[in-house]
């Protein structure tokens, strides 16, 4: 096994969101599709009821991880779930879904990742599933807990691992060697990779594609999440909640939504 090195560490900022009580951190900014392939964007949101009412999606999958509060999901294909801290959801928007993600009465704090789909899978039948934190497989190393989120009906081949590592402890995670991989530091600080590059809360660590595992050494109690996936290497056309391959497909998605075909 060979430990990867770090390609770069990126800072992030928190901005005003869709209302006065919505804050959002663009962990992976929307639009850097080729650089982040297969990931489209990652947002950290602090929000209240009424922020994310009914809205459509087409052409990708989402992973939503709850950090605080609760999130109540409804969609027009019968999906429904209430997610609490440590839980996650996996949604395949596929050919079209309309859903809401409402915060509970005390608000919510979440991470949401958008994962691209190849052209041959973009018009797949939509689906939704809850991933309860306590039901996910856990691996323990001295001073460390690694929880892997494994959806049963995902199309994208993604590795998702939540890491909690005590100060002074370390952990190693195996990775597919050709995957693009990044970690987001939720809290704490650590040194990442064979070159022990430091990163702290609010920073994104992108790994180089030069090995098949990564080692993390925590300098402070660390809470982080790792995402790894094979690049698709296709053209991306995106507008708002729709991600396709061409502008014509985007226009068709808008028309299909407006004419009730989702």
Would you kindly state where each structural domain of the chain is located, as residue ranges?
6-258
pLDDT per position in the chain (262 positions), as tens?
899 999 999 999 999 988 888 999 999 999 999 999 999 999 999 999 888 888 999 999 999 999 999 999 998 888 888 999 999 999 999 999 999 999 999 999 999 999 999 999 999 999 999 999 999 999 999 999 999 999 998 999 999 999 999 999 999 999 999 999 999 999 999 999 999 999 999 999 999 999 999 999 999 999 999 999 999 999 999 999 999 999 999 999 999 999 999 9
**Range 6-258: architecture per CATH:** Sandwich (2.60)
Q: Token pair of 82, please? A: 């209430």
pLDDT at 85: 97
pLDDT at 204: 98
Question: Beta partners for 97?
Answer: 57
What's this model's pTM, rounded to 2 decimal places?
Answer: 0.96
DSSP per residue over 8-47, as a string?
EEEE--EEE-SSTT-EEEEEE-TT-HHHHTTEEEEEEEEE
* Spatial contact of 197 and 204, defined as CB atoms under 8 Å apart: no
pLDDT at 12: 97
């Amino acid at each position: 096994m060979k430990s990867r090195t770090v390609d770069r560490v990126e800072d992030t900022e928190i901005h005003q969101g869709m209302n006065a009580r919505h804050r959002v951190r663009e962990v992976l900014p929307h639009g850097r599709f080729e650089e982040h392939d297969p990931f489209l964007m990652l947002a950290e949101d602090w929000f209240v009821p009424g922020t994310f009412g009914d809205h459509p999606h087409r052409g990708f999958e989402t992973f939503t991880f709850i950090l605080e509060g609760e999130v109540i999901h409804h969609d027009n294909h019968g999906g429904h779930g209430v997610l609490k801290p440590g839980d996650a959801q996996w949604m395949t928007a596929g050919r079209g879904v309309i859903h809401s993600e409402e915060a509970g009465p005390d608000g919510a704090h979440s991470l949401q990742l958008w994962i691209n789909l190849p052209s041959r899978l973009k018009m797949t039948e939509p689906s939704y599933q809850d991933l309860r934190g306590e039901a996910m497989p856990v691996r323990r190393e001295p001073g460390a807990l690694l929880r892997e989120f494994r959806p049963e009906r995902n199309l994208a081949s993604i590795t998702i691992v939540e890491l909690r590592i005590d100060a002074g402890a370390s952990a190693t995670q195996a990775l597919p060697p050709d995957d693009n991989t990044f970690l987001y530091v939720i809290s704490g600080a650590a040194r990442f990779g064979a070159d022990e590059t430091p990163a702290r809360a609010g920073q994104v660590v992108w790994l180089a594609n030069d090995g098949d595992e990564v080692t993390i050494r925590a300098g402070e109690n660390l809470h982080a999440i790792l995402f790894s996936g094979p690049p698709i290497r296709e053209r991306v056309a995106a507008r708002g909640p729709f991600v396709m391959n061409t502008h014509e497909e985007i226009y068709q998605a808008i028309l299909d939504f407006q004419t009730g075909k989702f």
